[in-house]
Amino acid sequence: MRIVVIAGGDSAERAVSLESGTAVVAALQDRGHHVSQLDPHTSAVADMSSDTDIAVPMLHGTGGEDGVLQQQLDEAAMRYTGSSAAASRLTFDKNLTNDCLRNHGLPVADSVVVKSASQEAALEFFGATGPVVTKPVCQGSSIGVSIVQQAGKLSDAITLALQFDDRCLVESYIPGREMTVAVLNGKPLPAIEIRPAAGECDEAAGWYDYESKYHDDRTEYIFDETELGSTLGQLATDACRACGVTGIARVDFRVDPQGVPWVLEINTIPGMTSHSLVPMAGMRIGMSLGEVIEATIHQALEPD
């Protein structure tokens, strides 16, 4: 097939997107396809060749996972892998995602959304719940995220988050295990527990920040094929179905000390770098990265 991989852009996740794009291009070329790469930072989506069979978005963050790219592809009448513009807009907004999941009976942490002028609400929330996680409402790759153990550090954490979005989500911190499940065409891949190296943000076990995701070789990845892994797989597919997510996605969880799982977020264009979780999960069931992407291509090209 003639495939265009879209990667790069101008978001805070540009570097990761380019790395994912390079990996996907190589994987699809290994499968015998004619593959080119387009960077929306330097080329317009509308300028793609008319003989392109399908586009594969690998554009992380704003402009890619927020529905903007998907809307452009729809307007160009170009087939593409992954979720629709509407599902992308929904899941890129962490607050809207939480509302949707909560309305479908799925477990999400309590939270409040604040802007720079209304941090009093965050302090009140902190006083009621204890430690919190602050994050931009619309952002990915743990950019602008902080774990706040003390009320005196809350203002700085909110200020950091607001550098990347005009709203900050203040969410109850859930101690426990960090886990994730990739969902491929509506079916879960094996669950993975993530064990970052200990860090100063989470005194117990570190946390899965940008450095841990993409650069730290000390981060451990452990497959969980127990009953818990099966439970997470079902929750992940339910979460994707609730939000209209299709193709490949990754659903992140915390599992508290009582063994209760909580949905953190849904990633509609997850990373495909050498440190990324989706390729690991695919390999676990004998699928190469090229085969994983091909599966999403076949789904996208199925007759409506």
State yes or no: is 271 an active-site residue.
yes
Per the CB < 8 A criterion, the answer to whether 51 and 263 are in contact is: no
State yes or no: is 214 an active-site residue.
yes
Catalytic residue among 271, 276, 290, 294: 271
Ordered by where they begin, the domains of the chain are 2-81 (3.40.50.20), 91-107+175-301 (3.30.470.20), 111-172 (3.30.1490.20)
The Cα–Cα gap between 168 and 136 comes to 5
pLDDT at 143 over 90: no
Percent of the chain with pLDDT over 70: 92
Confidence of residue 269 (pLDDT cuts 50, 70, 90): very high
State yes or no: is 267 an active-site residue.
yes
Provide the pLDDT for residue 117: 59
| Residue at 263: amino acid letter | V
Percent of the chain with pLDDT over 90: 78
Average pLDDT over residues 129-151: 87
**If DSSP codes are grouped into helix, strand and coil, which group holds residue 111?**
strand
| Burial tier of 47 (Cβ tally within 10 Å: 0-12, 13-18, 19+) | exposed
pLDDT at 268 over 90: yes
Tell me the CA distances in angstroms from 46 to 12, 34, 54, 207, 301, one per residue in order. Answer: 23, 19, 13, 40, 20
- Choose between 211 and 24: higher pLDDT: 24
Provide the pLDDT for residue 236: 98
Catalytic residue among 250, 276, 282, 294: 250
State yes or no: is 252 an active-site residue.
yes
Confidence of residue 12 (pLDDT cuts 50, 70, 90): confident
CA 65-139-28 angle, 5° bins: 40
Task: Extract the tokens encoding 196.
Answer: 């970052």
